Structure 1
Amino acid sequence: MRPRSGPTVEHRVLAVRLRLLRERAGVSLADAARALDAHPVTVRRIERAETGLDAHQVRVLLDRYGVPGAEAEPIIAGLGAASLPGWWHEWRDAMEPWQQDVIGMESSAGLVRTWHPALVPELLRTPAYAAALDRALHPDRDAARRERRVELLRERQRRLSYRGAALWALIPAAALHTRVGDRRVMAEQREALAEAVHRPGVTVQVVPLDHPPHALTGVPPLHLLRVSAPEIGDQAILETPGVRVDIVDDPDAVMSHRIRIDAACAAAPRPGTPLPAT
């Protein structure tokens, strides 16, 4: 069975609005569920964008919340767009379940900040580097699925650039010494990083090998996503490779991660500094 396609930001925004309208009206989950003749869990899943949007259900909820027509009309009108699958839908067969939620947010982010303690971050990897890393970490993976995953990464990179989103990457120099693939793969990856430093909207900072400990020393891969929709706060993505991926949206927790990455970037050599020799 193929994994579900993760919700788009439009879907998430509409789900948040439904929750806010329910809370504004003072309607409990149980009362909203009775209006739908459903279980409260159904309403909770709707508000968390964990299930598809049903026009009839949305209309019933808006009516129960006493939302006037002028306010309800744009919500109903936006159902079509919010119900469309994301562009990544066609790659869902090659994705991990958590990737669908992350890419859904990434696709609307105006700023992506990323840190990896030992490797070149995903959004700056060349296809050859990404494929070689996948072969090393998942030697039993089907070659066709591996190629699909590389295609997906290239499309993520292309769309990020096309939208003019900003990418800020903090990389330890150790990433340039971790041999992924052969010398040609590493040389190509290094050249791509050197070019990325000069691309508009891309900031790359490399922490030297002899740099003292900083705020992200020992921290697993961390990504901060800033989405323009006011209904959705910043998101933090924490990876524990081979174990799990945590998507954090609690404002206090996200702020804590932001402070750490700010401190680490402030301590690192300034952006634009030439890559260290290997």
Structure 2
Amino acid sequence: MRPRSGPTVEHRVLAARLRMLRERAGVSLQAAAVALGAHPATVRRIERAETGLDPYQVRVLLERYEVPAEVAGPIMAGIAAANLPGWWHAWRDAMEPWQQEVIGIESSAALVRTWHPALVPELLRTPAYEEALRRILTADPPRLRDRHLELLAERQRRLEARGAALWALLPAAALHTDVGGPAVMAGQRTALEEAAHRRHLTVQVVPLDFPPHPMTGVPSLHLLRVPAPEIGDRAVLETAGARVDIIDEPAVVMDYRIRLDGACAAAPHPGSPLHEDGRGAGKP
């Protein structure tokens, strides 16, 4: 059974190690399944962190792969922690399955890079801005809106508390799109000004009078980097119609990284002031 709140990074790391150990030992999925007395799909789900880690199954697999005790020991010792639900489990009633997947990775990311083509990126939004936006774009009842706001605030708090780097790129048009009225927008702009001076946080704004750049026309994008060699970078692309693609194909992720690098290089330096009309420089 897939973890109810999405796998933690600890779970993903152990699952990836099991896959690498099997491949290194030259054992096929079918042979691993025979050792377990199960279907190959069961082994595949274990290796993809789509099911909880059963100590008996893991031990059988490690023995089949002839893993030495000094390698197997830490894996067995880490199973209990890997099976614990993530902190976001308490908000699973306010989350889509894809959000659980993303937040599971985001919660351990050392670097989060984000771009939104029209709005302030989610991790930089004030509660008033986010609430106003959800009132406009969703039909959520008040209770669900409140739960979503709590979750966003906790994501922001945890990101800052662990010192993860957040690099956000947004168009100046986002600062002039009226979400919630003048007071809400004034509060959001003030929050961005303050955030831009915080450690580990970079905010770049593409002025209204700038030419097209590599991210022009690209939907909302998040790039997540976890400091674990077993976990590759992820690209999260939010397209029209509320469709979300979580991409782990290295070549595709690299393409988006290059695009974002180019856009950030073309945008004004984060220390540049932004004029009231959205022209000129890049810092809010």
Fold match by TM threshold 0.5: yes
Per the alignment, residue 185 of structure 1 pairs with: 184
What is the identity, as a one-letter code, of the residue corresponding to 1:176?
L
The aligned counterpart of 1:65 is: 65
Q: CA deviation at 1:4?
A: 2.1
CA drift at 1:245: 0.9
Distance 2:32 2:183 in 1: 60
- Cα distance in 2 for partners of 1:42, 1:276 equals 58
SS in 1 for 2:241: coil
Task: Tell me the residue number matched to 2:174.
Answer: 175
Aligned partner of residue 254 in structure 1, secondary structure: helix
Q: Distance in 1 between matches of 2:206 and 2:19?
A: 43
| Structure 2 Cα separation of the partners of residues 204 and 30 of structure 1 | 49
Paired AA for residue 76 in structure 2: I
The letter for the 2-side match of 1:56 is Y
CA distance in 1, matches of 2:227, 2:240: 29
* 3-state SS of paired residue (2:170): strand
Q: Which residue of structure 1 aligns with residue 263 of structure 2? A: 264
Amino acid across the alignment from 2:39: H
Structure 2, unpaired ranges of 5+: 278-284
The Cα of 1:62 is off from its aligned counterpart by 0.6
Q: CA deviation at 1:274?
A: 2.2
Instruction: Give the equivalent residue in structure 2 for 1:49.
Output: 49
Aligned residue for 1:16? 16
* Pairwise CA distance, 1:98: 0.2
> What is the Cα deviation at residue 78 of structure 1?
0.5
SS at match of 1:164: coil
Q: Partners of 1:207 and 1:62 in 2: how far apart?
A: 52
- Note the residue ranges of structure 1 that are not aligned, 5 or more in a row: none
Q: What is the aligned residue count?
A: 275
Q: Which amino acid aligns with 1:277?
A: E
1:145 is aligned with what amino acid? L
Q: CA deviation at 1:71?
A: 1.2
Deviations 1:60-90 (A, max 9, x none): 1111111122211110000011111000000
Q: Which residue of 2 aligns with 1:142?
A: 141
- Tell me how large the CA RMSD over aligned residues is: 1.0
- Give the superposition deviation at 1:218: 0.4
Instruction: Give the deviation of 1:174 after TM superposition.
Output: 0.8
Separation in 1, partners of 2:272, 2:169: 12
User: Quick one: distance in 2 between partners of 1:67 and 1:101?
Assistant: 30
Q: Is the 8 A contact 1:203 1:272 kept in 2?
A: no
Q: Output aligned runs, 1:102-141, within 5 Å.
A: 102-138=102-138, 140-141=139-140
Partner of 1:195: 194
- Match for residue 231 of structure 2? 232
For residue 142 of structure 1, report the CA deviation from its aligned partner.
Answer: 1.1
SS in 1 for 2:110: strand
Secondary structure of residue in 1 paired with 2:56: helix
| Structure 1 residue 32, shift from structure 2 partner | 0.7
What letter is aligned with 1:19?
A: R
Cα pair 1:235 1:254 within 8 Å, conserved: yes
Q: Which runs of 4+ in 1 moved over 4 A?
A: none
Deviation at 1:199, TM superposition (A): 0.6
CA contact (8 A) 1:194 1:274 kept: no
Please give the alpha-carbon distance, in whole angstroms, between the structure 1 residues aligned to 2:7 and 2:73: 22
Q: Counterparts of 1:183 and 1:242 in 2: how far apart (Å)?
A: 28
Structure-1 separation of matches of 2:86 and 2:105? 10
What is the aligned partner in structure 1 of residue 208 from structure 2?
209
Instruction: Return 13-22 or 62-71, whichever deviates more.
Output: 62-71
Residues 194, 275 of structure 1: 8 Å contact kept:
no
Q: Aligned equivalents of 2:36 and 2:135: distance in 1?
A: 49
Once the two structures are overlaid, the 10-residue window that deviates more, 268-277 or 46-55, is 268-277
Letter in 2 for 1:246: D
Partner of 1:252: 251
CA distance in 2, matches of 1:27, 1:192: 54
What residue identity is the alignment partner of 1:146?
R
Residue range with higher mean Cα deviation, 243-252 or 199-208: 243-252
Q: With the length of structure 1 as denominator, give the TM-score of the two structures.
A: 0.97
